[in-house]
Structure 1
Amino acid sequence: MGGNGKHRWKISFYRSNSGSKNPPKELLCPISGSLISDPVVVSSGQTFERLSVQLCRELGFSPKLEDGTRPDFSTVIPNFAIKSTIQNWCDRNNAQHPQPPDSIALEKAVRALMEKDRVEPGIRVSERELLRGMAERPPVRYMHAATELGYRVDHFYSSSSEESVVIPSASPPTPLPFATRPSCYSSSSSSEITAELQTLNLNSSLPGCEEEEQLMTKLRSSEVIEQEEGVILLRKLTRTKEELRISLCTPRLLSAVGSLVVSRYSTVQQNALASLVNLSLEKANKVKIVRSGFVPHLVDVLKGGSSESQEHAAGALFSLALEEDNKMAIGVLGALPPLMHAFVRAESERTRNDSALALYHLTLVESNRVKLVKQHNAVQTLLALAKSPASAGRVLLILCNLASCNEGRSSMLDANAVECLVGMLRRRTEFDSESTRENCVAALYALSHGSMRFRGLAREANAVEVLSEIEKSGSERAREKANRLLMVMRGREDEPNWDSVLDSGSGPGLDPTRYRVVRNLHTANSTTF
């Protein structure tokens, strides 16, 4: 195996009998390079030796495979089909059945891959190809607010959707989607910063060439204690100084921070990630950070980092997702599955919150909506979370985005979303937030667009009764949408009767011109909500 030099990173432990053929590549573990004795399938679909997966999970590492992707080790399932295939191949070729690999040798191989992965400079090839098209669209610069936005409009419009999402307005339990700072971000007073910097023999003013060189020397040092001092200093400098965040966000510094984001030392990694969050607060820095290759590192940390590291990784992805030019790139680089997993299962409330808000902003883009819908059980999981008052507000923001695309509508209807949303509206005492009720109605309205199944599902869920109550006593926005939904439920004179069309299997009396006019009316009116 591997005599031609094409797969130099593989270390093979396989030894075949003399005269036997080389085994097919699909029967070899991509990490050890040997025949698999205990094959398992991981979440991303590849098959590995079980011990290889265990070691990678323990070390928080996901190796880069031949196709440039990195496997997801969050779920492991025995692959009995491959195991039988391997045994049959060995019998046909007079080869020994594979034995469990030596754990010590395999760990050395994994650590060697980790070291090689850590020292690779610059932007990864796959990411460079992805971001090449973004180079022609320079980021728009604007002055970053020192606090959260003081003025908030009532709607957030997707660039690719006619629908709008209602933003909670009255003392919400979680930060608003318009928040410009992740949950993990916290500021300190200037006197506190000055005192902390004095302990490192530096001042809190803008760093000159000498101070900047001192900072870079620490970040580039091979000594862990020097690295730790460097990232702590960078974190303090960028915590409250807006001008420093912009001036320090250089390719040289980002490269140095990038090498420490993947550090095996938790203190170094956590402070490097926190520094990255601080740098990402400035709009002028957001595209720079994504182009510097940080998203795959953040994805890896979100999959297997410590609780605090995951908080900062989720916060950084949320902050970077606020920039329109980053949304598609972050989705393509694989952030959606780990963000979804973190939203559902993370220990930290900060991680769950920032993961949810990152998903909301990323799904404002059509391609990311489709990716999330295609993720296994994603819609079903979101609908289950929506039933909990603690997470309903955040989940509904995501569901409203998904319902604005054909794939999302179809998947949500298949998962009984109509019954779920109507049930939430019926449980008014549990979901007492008016914005939650408004977004429930908005999601139902989005599901009704272009769907011939919606009316039947809404009738089965007794939606007319609930919507009639909202039409009488809900907020202005909720009443408007409820009124439109009731018109859809009852049928209009100028709207085709889809129940009749479905029953007959054809529409001989259907005037397609009239229906197009109705759709245009829907589109024009939707922007007022």
Structure 2
Amino acid sequence: MYIVLHRIKKLIEDCSNGSKFSVLMQIETVADNFNKLTGELSTLLDVFPIHEMNLNDDVLELIVLIRKQCSESKKNKLGEEQINLRNDVVFVLEGIKREIVPNEEKLASIFEKLEIRDSSSCRSEIENLQEEIQNRNEEQSKSEIVALIGLVRYAKCVLFGASTPSSRNETLRRNQSLEIVVPADYRCPISLELMRDPVVVATGQTYDRGSIKLWMDSGHNTCPKTGQTLAHTDLIPNHALRNMIALWCKEQRIPFEGETVTVKVNGCVMNKTALEATRMTATFLVNKLTNGGLVSESCGIEETNAVVYELRVLAKTDSESRACIAEAGAIEILVRFLSYEVGLQHPSLQVNAVTTILNLSILEANKTRIMEIDGVLNGVAEVLRSGATWEAKANAAATVFSLTGVVAFRKRLGRKTRVVSGLVELAKCGPEGAKRDALAAILNLAADRETVARLVESGAVEMTAGIMAVMPEEAVTILEAVVKRGGLVAVAAAFVGIKKLGTVLREGSERARESAAATLVTMCRKGGSEIVAELAGIHGVERVIWELMAVGSVRGRRKAATLLRILRRWAAGLDGGETEGFTSTNTFVSTSTTVVVPTPTSLAQ
């Protein structure tokens, strides 16, 4: 009897706490389960030795009542009202599949009968449906749930209007984004977000499964981080890293799942109904912005901000949503909310607008739209340089990083001085999360030789020296790329950071030490004796290099051996073998450039 009662309790809880639409669509199965369980309970009560249990009158009366209810439930059939309601939902879904916009009154009647009466209950229903996907095994069944999610999203906007998160949730989200700094090794190099399902590609680099799969599905056959061609497209789960991330999330009290709901949803076949529901939702929201626009009244601003926030959330869900939003013309409208004036008066609106563009830029086709639509890049640059909040600036930097994922766009972005200088300034002065977004974009831009010259002019070398103590891995990686492609000007600018590179060489992570050694080799070869002399002046540098040769990575050991050879040739007075050309004075000479190395006197000025 205990087992039967427990099963009844579980079934009631699932129906009460789960998705109302899901229960409605399975109404016959749910009713049948209830009937079977009440039948089993009735049979058990019939043979239950009541008189031997010495029960009081109240308990006896309760048992008799339960018996009577169980007997009556056997005769009960599924109500016609529930069947009709289920048929109404199916009719609406079929109409959406045929691109017929649902009747608003009919939609309102369905949601009223299901007791979904506001935006909050719609959000809860969407969350319950997303959880339901994880409990389904068949793709067809999952696809039906995805269609219901699309319907609820559309109805939420049409029936109850767009809504922004509560002030409490907004504060919590900002605190998480600015105060909780995700370790670099736990962030996906593509999305810059915490990895939930880390996988290793053919080059040995680790990415979040959803991000790298999207990258490959977009037609790329190269590693986003290294640029190397992938020998195969197999994705190998990184279980060790996943366990470390899960442990870190537990310590930080951050919810963690092995695979996010978004990936699960994307894993299903996006059926015609779900796609059309998404397109209708995007069109409805964009039309509201087109008709309403940015007005001076407080209520108008709040409504505009709510609509932009809904687009932001929708753009984060999946590729189909990003495509639908862009096709509806959202990008052209969002540009107007990126201005300095909007940020000054309505900072939340500016944040939501730039974050929506960031989410849209994840889709490859949208990258081209963003680059080609007039005013978008200038708007992103405006937020990057003078955004009202650090969050806005960080997301503008992340947008630039996303766009630089296309090699052809790096040169165009690098030609925009405001973009380059804005990234350098953010990396220099922003909070740690914003710094990382800026540094990731700078590293991608540094792959273009022409852009490196602008990075040097904007103070990128000095910036890396300034942050090397707190973010050594990122700083040294960027410095390596800059001195490699920046010529003597970059080497001269990096002169002041040689001692800091020596510190990284001694105390940094394996990756940081490898990059530091590679940077110093490049500087010594391009710069000459003054650079080598500065390096040789670091106390115990040879011992540190010997240690790297013994325990470093393969590349690190190779660079350390080269560095040691350069130092020994310099000590022996053999300057010519390892350098590209220098003199024994403080002036480096190339065929077209003369660069003066900073001396202690000039540095003091």
The counterpart of 1:395, out of the listed 465, 469, 475, is 475
The 3 A distance-change label for structure 1 pair 344 and 316 is same
The 3 A distance-change label for structure 1 pair 248 and 491 is same
The 3 A distance-change label for structure 1 pair 361 and 211 is same
In the alignment, is residue 215 of structure 1 matched against residue 293 of structure 2? Answer: no
Amino acid at match of 2:521: Y
Distance 1:288 1:147 in 2: 29
Amino acid at match of 1:233: E
3-state SS of the aligned residue for 2:383? helix
Distance 2:444 2:330 in 1: 27
In the alignment, is residue 382 of structure 1 matched against residue 464 of structure 2? Answer: yes
Distance 2:264 2:196 in 1: 18
Aligned counterpart, 1:276: 357
The 3 A distance-change label for structure 1 pair 339 and 374 is same
Distance 1:317 1:301 in 2: 11
RMSD, aligned CA? 3.9
- Map 1:46-57 to 2 at 5 A: none
Aligned counterpart, 1:298: 380
Distance 2:513 2:413 in 1: 31
Kept after mapping to 2: 8 A contact 1:299/1:313: yes
Distance 1:456 1:190 in 2: 55
Q: CA deviation at 1:475?
A: 2.6
Q: Which has the larger radius of gyration?
A: 2
The counterpart of 1:368, out of the listed 440, 444, 451, is 451
Distance 1:355 1:413 in 2: 20
Q: CA deviation at 1:498?
A: 7.7
The 3 A distance-change label for structure 1 pair 447 and 217 is same
3-state SS of the aligned residue for 2:396? helix
Kept after mapping to 2: 8 A contact 1:379/1:411: no
- Map 1:209-358 to 2 at 5 A: 210-220=280-290, 221-222=292-293, 223-250=300-327, 252-262=329-339, 263=342, 264-292=345-373, 293-304=375-386, 305-333=388-416, 334-347=418-431, 349-358=432-441
Give the count of matched residue pairs. 323
Q: CA deviation at 1:312?
A: 1.9
Aligned counterpart, 1:436: 512
Distance 1:373 1:352 in 2: 18
Between 1:259-268 and 1:296-305, the stretch displaced more is: 259-268
Kept after mapping to 1: 8 A contact 2:354/2:395: yes
The counterpart of 1:450, out of the listed 526, 530, 551, is 526
Unpaired segments ≥5 residues, structure 1? 1-144, 160-168, 175-185, 194-202, 506-529
Unpaired segments ≥5 residues, structure 2? 1-194, 206-224, 229-237, 246-256, 266-272, 294-299, 587-605
The 3 A distance-change label for structure 1 pair 393 and 228 is same
Aligned counterpart, 1:151: 201
Give per-residue Cα distances to partners, 1:427-450, cap 9 Å, x unaligned: x2xx3x211111111111221233
Amino acid at match of 1:362: L
Query: Once the two structures are aligned, what percentage of the paired residues are identical?
Result: 20
Q: CA deviation at 1:210?
A: 4.8
User: TM-score, length-normalised on structure 1?
Assistant: 0.54
Q: CA deviation at 1:227?
A: 2.0
The 3 A distance-change label for structure 1 pair 251 and 402 is farther
User: TM-score, length-normalised on structure 2?
Assistant: 0.47
Aligned counterpart, 1:420: 500
Kept after mapping to 2: 8 A contact 1:419/1:458: yes
Distance 2:198 2:263 in 1: 22
Distance 2:282 2:582 in 1: 71
The 3 A distance-change label for structure 1 pair 209 and 309 is closer
The 3 A distance-change label for structure 1 pair 214 and 445 is same
Amino acid at match of 1:354: D
